[in-house]
Amino acid sequence: MNVLVILGIAFLALFWTVILIFLCTVFIGAPFVPSNSTEIEHSFTTLYKLGKKDLVVDLGSGNGVVLEHACKHGAKAYGIEINSFLIWFSRLRLRKYKDAKVVFGNIYTAKLPKETTVVYVFGDSRDIKAIVRHVEKEAKRIGHPIHIISNAFQIPGMEPVKAYRAHFLYKVG
């Protein structure tokens, strides 16, 4: 077989692996759609004044854009993601921030770091309740309240502390 054929087969195998990873995650939770940079910035200034005291957890951290904004505000950033390709991509993106970490995990069961102050979530309507239940449990376990910033979805039965466009701020625990 010549080298070009082998390279072609390797490229196709990689391509279909990445497509399959993205398709599989759709069945587990929200598909990958990145948050808008301007709106993240508003969330971390207008909704919740993020600073050095904070550790932001992005549940389903995608390409790392939310974590990058958190780091630029001096906060620590922790992403939990199920898509291995996006984990690799976001680690590359965040390589210069020593306080940024992205781990493979399931957002419905993953343990949050003890210093967590803010949880950012851009899920979908079918999973927002289960995610909030989990964050409430984690806030009790770590022993202090946690702010939740939800992009696009309001939490049913809870009144937001503040809202800005499609971002809603809540406090649990």
Ligand X SMILES: C[S@@+](CC[C@H](N)C(=O)[O-])C[C@H]1O[C@@H](n2cnc3c(N)ncnc32)[C@H](O)[C@@H]1O
The residues that touch ligand X, with contacts defined as CB under 6 A, are 25, 28-30, 32-35, 58, 60-62, 65-66, 80-83, 86, 106-108, 122, 151
**C-beta of 5 vs 60, nearer to ligand X:** 60
**C-beta of 28 vs 163, nearer to ligand X:** 28
**C-beta of 7 vs 33, nearer to ligand X:** 33
- Nearest approach, Cβ of 6 to ligand X (angstroms)? 31
- Nearest approach, Cβ of 18 to ligand X (angstroms)? 12
- Nearest approach, Cβ of 5 to ligand X (angstroms)? 33
Task: Give exposure, 103-114, as e/b (b: 16+ Cβ within 10 Å).
Answer: eebebeebebee
**C-beta of 30 vs 135, nearer to ligand X:** 30
- Nearest approach, Cβ of 7 to ligand X (angstroms)? 29
Task: Give exposure, 68-77, as e/b (b: 16+ Cβ within 10 Å).
Answer: bbbbebebbb
Q: Of 112, 126, 123, 124, which Cα lies nearest the Cα of 173? A: 112
- Residue 34 Cα to chain centre, angstroms: 9
